[in-house]
Structure 1
Amino acid sequence: MGIEHRSTIPATADEVFAWHERPGAFQRLLPPWMPGAIRREAESLKDGRAELALPGGQVWVAQHDPAGYEPGRAFVDERVPGGLASVALTPVRWRHEHRIEPHGDAAVMIDRVGTQAGSRLLRPMFVYRHRQLADDLERHRELAAAPMTVAMTGASGLIGTALAAFLTTGGHRVVRLVRHEPGAGERRWHPDAPAPDLLEGVDALVHLAGASIFGRFGDDHRQRIRDSRIGPTRRLAELAAASGLRAFVTASAIGRYGDDRGDEPLTEASGAGDGFLAEVTVDWEAEAAPAVEGGVRTALIRTGLVQTPRGGVLQVLRPLYEAGLGGPLAGGRHWQSWIDLDDLVDIYARALVDERMSGPINAVAPEPVRQRDYATTLAAVLHRPALLPTPAIGPRVLLGERGMRELALANQRVLPMRLEELGHRFRRPSLEDALRHQLGRMRAAGR
């Protein structure tokens, strides 16, 4: 039992091996539909140890075997006991050989796993991993960026985790700005009063931190949303200017366009809309002004609905649709402007290095869809029906009247005009392709 999966990667064998050696590789290869979070990455492919925290308090421990290590060509890891935290995994046998063979100007990536599970169960994981590897290497080659030191707030969040791993596998250094006692690779950040030397030795800053917008839009929740964005962004912008950074890249949101713009195509030049989120986002973006005035190239990433089963709307909808309970929401006529998580990572990475990227950037896929079409596509990817219309009362109970209107029923047909002007290439411009990749439902051909 087990699996052997191979594919051709458009990079040299040395490039592929070097990518695996860098911090973040394990994170980039972890399928988003599978449970678990990385607790520790192996420091060495020769004899390091990696740990994956699983549901129920269990920990998967993978020990690299020096006997299977061939510099530039192969490495092996094997599941080993991890004490009481892995006792439930005792019956599981897992030995994984990663082999990289030169093939002209490309490389053949070969994964061989000895385990009780069969190839039908394991195939989606390796299709995902090989596609992720090839796409990441291709994007790093397109960016062609010299190594940078990037400071990042919100590095442990959904977007920050993915972006930090992408950057470090590309040879960059990420300094995580945290509010707790800092560990290795971290610096203590006080949002109300950042230290003057916080950005010392840093080339660029990515600002992702902010309270989640999901929840009932009561007074306390709205105040948290506002307070976590307005003041901290201005103070970081001031510090970015004082530190002479190359770039300041800060999160924003398509909520700026308001909760109902009908069928109007919305570009970066479109005016602000109505509603709480629109008001907050206008003020939020204005807080970046000190960086602009200080001569720092500043990009405002107006993000759409991020597609990943690890968070956001897809995390909520996936179990409903898998149970056959999904369907159009409140008639499904409203527009949804979405973005694949990896495409969003690419946009942030490009904003760090492309001197042409400044001002507002709509981080959305080029094909917005009506909600009913989103429902139909998700159901088809999961091989489930989408026959049960979902009334507005569900979101109203969860989010309140205002939250329902500004989140669940927001009608925004947003287009990535600035990215298209720059010739930006999306990995997954099609919603179906994005959902298949994120949910491990790729077609038989793999790519």
Structure 2
Amino acid sequence: MSIDCSAVVAAPRSEVFAWFARPGAFARLAPPWQPVSLLDEADSLADGRAVLGLPAGLRWVARHEAGEYDPPHRFVDRITTGGPASVPASVVLSWRHIHEFEEVDPAHTRIKDRVQTWVPAAMLRPMFAYRYRQIEADLAAHARAADHGLGAITVAVTGAAGLIGSALTAFLSSGGHTVIRLVRREPRERAERRWDPDNPAGDLLDGVDAVVHLAGAPIAGRFTDEHKKAVAGSRITPTRKLAELCARAGVGVFVSASAIGYYGYDRDDETLTEQSPRGTGFLADVVADWEDAATAASGTTRVVSVRTGIVQSPRGGTLRLLRPLFAAGLGGRIGSGHQWMSWIGIDDLVDIYYRALWDIQLRGPINAVAPHPVRNIEYTHTLGRVLGRPTVIAVPAFGPAVLLGRSGARELATASQRVVPDRLGSAGHEFRDADLESALRHVLGRTAES
């Protein structure tokens, strides 16, 4: 039994094949709704081996077949064993995946996937629909950057293991850039450097062209004094120290994470742009100080603060928490549902960070949100529709306070911020998913193609 899928992407065959061969490609292709994690990426399409983590501690080991390697036309991988944890999958599953690349014309490539397996085709088609969309959008993003003069650069990234960092580093490395992960532990591989947030080494950024700073303690949680201290302390001083080092090292651009919490927790129906005044509350104060700390790099270094909205990915954040509830038919609005939610798809957020690296006109704060914010009740109905479940169980307004405390609930769960990407719109930025339903369908594998 086998399944055949194909799609045409707007890129030369040599570029498409090269993209598959680079580190990060597998991570960019892995559907976020599947309970699979990449433990070890293959170092070669010719004879490399990839190891995937499955539920219950099991492993999927995929070995590339050297005899079938024919660049830029074809490569093949099959499931095999590699330790006791991989035996159940290799015994129960049959899997041989043939990847073929056919030149349609000099600017277009047909990607053909043939999988020999007994896994039902209905379970695999959503995966391939996701993969083809990812490939085409990623290649288009890299082509736009190249058109604006970006060549291969070296980017140092803090917080690389997080939701945003893991997606961004995979995107950058699969696009041909060199990624250096700044970690607080002892480095385990050549692509890592040890970073002391309070006292970064003077040579930390040697050979680095750009820095993306994502590290910080999770904001979600009960807003106790201890939690607030961790949120602020992990952001303000480390950001200032790293920004100062960027200036001394002559780094070209420093892109720092920020948040739409800058605008406060309730601005009613006011449309908020980068020119809007800051709001009130703990998060507004932290974000203002956070962004001020990033300006320590100003001068020789271009500084961009990415004010991020509610990130949509089942791998983390709000959607990771909501998905199982909504899938079980237990989802519903919070309180009246009237509050505004300014959201952003994970891949659109990656594109925005990338644009901040190559667009020399971008400086200062930019709103990293989709063009169309929605009220909580619309978000609720949309997620329920995508998952095919009812959304009739409303959460009382006091409910989130039980977990987050009154202050945490006010600034997180019931916050109302109608934020728009004004500066990105003026720059002509194109979003992969400008509307909520298409964004949710993509990351949850519920597209029309599947």
Instruction: Measure the CA separation in 1 of the matches of 2:207 and 2:137.
Output: 30
- Whichever residue aligns with residue 337 of structure 2, its letter is G
Structure 2 unaligned runs (5+)? Answer: none
Instruction: Measure the CA separation in 2 of the matches of 1:73 and 1:201.
Output: 35
Deviation per residue, 1:202-238 (Å, 9 max, x gap)? 0010000000001111111111001000100000010
State the TM-score, normalizing by the size of structure 1. 0.98
Match of 2:268 among 226, 237, 262: 262
The equivalent residue for 1:79 is 79
Residues 245-256 of structure 1 aligned to structure 2 (within 5 Å): 245-256=251-262
Instruction: Measure the CA separation in 1 of the matches of 2:399 and 2:63.
Output: 46
Q: Would you say 1:135 and 2:137 are equivalent positions?
A: yes
Match of 2:398 among 390, 393, 405: 393
Deviation per residue, 1:104-126 (Å, 9 max, x gap)? 12010011111111111110000
Match of 1:297 among 297, 302, 312: 302
The equivalent residue for 2:119 is 117
Q: Would you say 1:280 and 2:286 are equivalent positions?
A: yes
Instruction: Measure the CA separation in 2 of the matches of 1:329 and 1:5.
Output: 41
Match of 1:321 among 307, 326, 335: 326
Deviation per residue, 1:349-371 (Å, 9 max, x gap)? 11011101110000000000000
Instruction: Measure the CA separation in 1 of the matches of 2:404 and 2:317.
Output: 14
- Percentage of pairs with the same residue: 56
The equivalent residue for 1:66 is 66
- Whichever residue aligns with residue 330 of structure 2, its letter is L
SS at match of 1:6: strand
The equivalent residue for 1:22 is 22
Superposed CA RMSD: 0.9
Residues 24-423 of structure 1 aligned to structure 2 (within 5 Å): 24-89=24-89, 90-104=91-105, 105-144=107-146, 145-182=150-187, 183-292=189-298, 294-423=299-428
- Whichever residue aligns with residue 122 of structure 2, its letter is R
Using the TM superposition, give the Cα deviation of residue 403 of structure 1 relative to its aligned residue in structure 2, in angstroms. Answer: 0.8
- Whichever residue aligns with residue 178 of structure 2, its letter is R
Q: Would you say 1:432 and 2:437 are equivalent positions?
A: yes
Deviation per residue, 1:353-396 (Å, 9 max, x gap)? 11011100000000000000000000000011111212123311
Using the TM superposition, give the Cα deviation of residue 290 of structure 1 relative to its aligned residue in structure 2, in angstroms. Answer: 1.5
SS at match of 1:192: coil
Using the TM superposition, give the Cα deviation of residue 129 of structure 1 relative to its aligned residue in structure 2, in angstroms. Answer: 0.4
SS at match of 2:96: strand
- Whichever residue aligns with residue 276 of structure 1, its letter is F
Using the TM superposition, give the Cα deviation of residue 188 of structure 1 relative to its aligned residue in structure 2, in angstroms. Answer: 0.4
SS at match of 2:360: coil
- Whichever residue aligns with residue 196 of structure 1, its letter is G
Instruction: Measure the CA separation in 1 of the matches of 2:354 and 2:423.
Output: 15
Using the TM superposition, give the Cα deviation of residue 2 of structure 1 relative to its aligned residue in structure 2, in angstroms. Answer: 3.3
- Whichever residue aligns with residue 282 of structure 2, its letter is F
Instruction: Measure the CA separation in 1 of the matches of 2:259 and 2:418.
Output: 13
SS at match of 1:367: coil
Structure 1 unaligned runs (5+)? Answer: none
Using the TM superposition, give the Cα deviation of residue 163 of structure 1 relative to its aligned residue in structure 2, in angstroms. Answer: 0.3
SS at match of 2:70: coil
Instruction: Measure the CA separation in 2 of the matches of 1:274 and 1:116.
Output: 57
- Whichever residue aligns with residue 100 of structure 1, its letter is F
Instruction: Measure the CA separation in 1 of the matches of 2:113 and 2:178.
Output: 28
Using the TM superposition, give the Cα deviation of residue 82 of structure 1 relative to its aligned residue in structure 2, in angstroms. Answer: 2.1
Using the TM superposition, give the Cα deviation of residue 418 of structure 1 relative to its aligned residue in structure 2, in angstroms. Answer: 0.4
SS at match of 2:140: helix
Q: Would you say 1:443 and 2:444 are equivalent positions?
A: no
Using the TM superposition, give the Cα deviation of residue 53 of structure 1 relative to its aligned residue in structure 2, in angstroms. Answer: 1.2
Instruction: Measure the CA separation in 2 of the matches of 1:401 and 1:276.
Output: 12
Instruction: Measure the CA separation in 2 of the matches of 1:337 and 1:434.
Output: 13
SS at match of 1:85: helix
Instruction: Measure the CA separation in 2 of the matches of 1:175 and 1:83.
Output: 30
State the TM-score, normalizing by the size of structure 2. 0.98
Deviation per residue, 1:129-155 (Å, 9 max, x gap)? 011001100111011120000001001
SS at match of 2:190: coil
Deviation per residue, 1:286-339 (Å, 9 max, x gap)? 1012111x3210000000000000001100110000000111111100000000
SS at match of 1:435: helix
- Whichever residue aligns with residue 65 of structure 1, its letter is E
Using the TM superposition, give the Cα deviation of residue 91 of structure 1 relative to its aligned residue in structure 2, in angstroms. Answer: 1.1
Using the TM superposition, give the Cα deviation of residue 432 of structure 1 relative to its aligned residue in structure 2, in angstroms. Answer: 0.3
- C-alpha spacing 1:216/1:2, structure 2 compared with 1 (3 Å): farther
Instruction: Measure the CA separation in 2 of the matches of 1:336 and 1:88.
Output: 44
- Whichever residue aligns with residue 297 of structure 1, its letter is R
- Whichever residue aligns with residue 271 of structure 1, its letter is P
Instruction: Measure the CA separation in 2 of the matches of 1:396 and 1:93.
Output: 49
- Whichever residue aligns with residue 111 of structure 1, its letter is D
